Amino acid sequence: MLKPPLPLNETERLMSLHSLHILDTPAEDRFDRITRMAKRLFGVEMCLISLVDSKRQWFKSKQGLNSCQTSREVSFCGHAILHDEVFIVGDASVDPRFEDNPLVTGPPFVRFYAGCPVRGPQGHRVGTLCLIDVSPRGLSTDEQAMLKVLAALVEDELKVTAEGTVDNLTQIANRRGFHTVAAHLLSLCRRTKTDAELVLFDLDGFEAVNDTLGRQAGDALLQRFATLLIECFRSADVVARLGGDEFVVLMTASSDLSEVALERLARSAEADDCQVLRQLGWNARSIRFDPERHDSVDAMLGDADAMMAAQRFERRDTGS
């Protein structure tokens, strides 16, 4: 078995990893969303987001594997972080570097491995997004490119951790965080011909709540609405607050599931303890991703905003 050598910049790399304060933290949907998507797209048994520490590799997200970490000495990811490109092992059982590795000779009986390096915000390779299977296989050039896109999503989420891309009040993504993640998701949808749907929300009469009940009541309302969005949409969907009382959800592989989620949201709001939310209501406009029309996230938001403005005008004109 070949133990992975240390990178030349190991000290700086570890400092970058530890500065994220992410090791040994609980699982998060924003990372699990990516590994679930990758496992489905590539049809593999296991998919991991692995962070390579000094003595171990620790899994921030894992699909198809119960272990939360392994020794760095037996890790495939320890080799993968030495490279800029995707590191591929087609059949570990006949590869001299891995044939007697305990992860190959024993559970989980790794045969195929493909790991794309994941960089922290300072540019150091802190871990990988990796695919693992119990049968030998390969990875085409297009599939490698797709894996790189998904690894870039992981990097985006690491940036969210390190930078100001989380809304302080609601603790969901802010406008900057949403743009970063959504841009890569739409790129992936374009490449894989996957459906996507964007739903834009604003709250009815929110300014009046601040004026009559005070800022604290308004903040509580925004926090509760953000929580309901997370509860009523899928864990794989991207939920964000764009600013003020404006929220957005991006759904991939949606197949018109927004209608189901919106109905669930309406039922949850009617039964919610927040009386102001029950009385207030909201506006919502849904936009399907059109690769020919929408060359960016802003294009989708622009269409949704235009439809929202037309809806407001119509309601004002009819007095409803």
Mean pLDDT of the chain: 88
Per-residue confidence at 314, pLDDT binned at 50, 70, 90? Answer: low
pLDDT at 91 over 60: yes
pLDDT at 211 over 80: no
Per-residue confidence at 4, pLDDT binned at 50, 70, 90? Answer: very high
Percentage, residues of the chain above pLDDT 90: 51
Show the tokens assigned to 195.
Answer: 């459906």
Strands (E) across the chain are located at 46-52, 56-63, 69-71, 87-89, 112-119, 125-133, 196-203, 238-243, 246-252, 282-288
pLDDT tens, residue by residue, 185-196: 888 888 888 889
Close Cβ partners of 250 (under 8 Å, ≥ 6 residues apart) = 178, 182, 185, 196, 197, 198, 237, 238, 297
pLDDT at 279: 66
pLDDT at 254: 65
**CB 49 within 8 Å of CB 59:** yes
pLDDT at 233: 87
pLDDT at 316 over 80: no
pLDDT tens, residue by residue, 226-260: 888 988 888 778 889 999 999 999 998 766 678 88
Per-residue confidence at 129, pLDDT binned at 50, 70, 90? Answer: very high
What is the arithmetic mean of pLDDT over 298-303?
Answer: 93
pLDDT at 315: 61
**Other residues' Cβ atoms within 10 Å of the Cβ of residue 191:** 13
pLDDT at 184: 80
Q: What span, in angstroms and rounded, lies between the C-alpha atoms of 132 and 110? A: 7
Per-residue confidence at 176, pLDDT binned at 50, 70, 90? Answer: confident
